[in-house]
């Protein structure tokens, strides 16, 4: 799979309809792969929205007659640059958030709490945690806390089922 910036470089290098088609194919494969890999959280939604904007610009670009930028002759360079700047700004803000403090919380539900695949009771249960069990919380800013599970997966638990202090046995 192409790195996002490699993909944009390939887009800037389009010289023919065949190479444009190749970039389209790569963009759809890249988008699908990212959608499968991104966690189900607010940051992932923001990235998906930017990706949707990029896809919309590609569709608009191919549907219209080429309109060349007078400065360098590259089709829609300003629109692509705008999207790239937006993506980079978003990626920068996400990397700042990713350095946030990880906190240990304890399960207060008795006898156990469900840990889900996303922040809703309609999401599948990926595991459970026992009363008093310590969990690694990476985001406690909402009603649902985002967890880093021991096996590397991401999970979500309702915040009211957690406490920063260990419950009495």
Q: Is the pTM higher than 0.75?
A: no
pLDDT tens for residues 12-67?
A: 666 666 666 676 677 667 666 666 666 666 666 666 667 666 665 655 555 444 44
Res 126: pLDDT: 96
Whether pLDDT at 133 is above 90: yes
String of b and e for 47-60 (b: at least 16 CB within 10 Å)? beebbeebeeebee
Q: Which residues contact 143 (CB under 8 A, 6 or more apart)?
A: 119, 158, 159, 160
Res 80: pLDDT: 62
DSSP 123: S
Using CA atoms, how far apart are residues 118 and 124, in angstroms rounded to an integer?
8
């Amino acid at each position: 799979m192409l790195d996002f910036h490699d993909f944009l470089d390939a887009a800037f290098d389009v010289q023919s309809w065949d190479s444009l088609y190749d970039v389209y194919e790569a963009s759809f494969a890249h988008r699908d792969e990212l959608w499968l890999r991104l966690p189900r959280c607010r940051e992932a939604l923001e990235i998906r929205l930017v990706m949707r904007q990029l896809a919309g610009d590609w569709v608009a670009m191919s549907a219209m007659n080429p309109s060349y930028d007078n400065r360098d002759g590259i089709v829609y360079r300003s629109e692509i640059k705008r999207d790239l700047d937006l993506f980079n700004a978003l990626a920068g803000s996400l990397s700042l958030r990713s350095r946030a403090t990880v906190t240990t919380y304890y399960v207060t539900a008795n006898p156990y709490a469900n840990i889900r695949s996303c922040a809703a009771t309609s999401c599948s249960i990926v595991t459970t945690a026992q009363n008093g069990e310590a969990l690694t919380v990476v985001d406690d800013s909402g009603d649902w806390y985002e967890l880093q599970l021991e096996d590397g997966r991401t999970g979500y638990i309702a915040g009211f089922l957690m406490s920063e202090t260990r419950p009495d046995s």
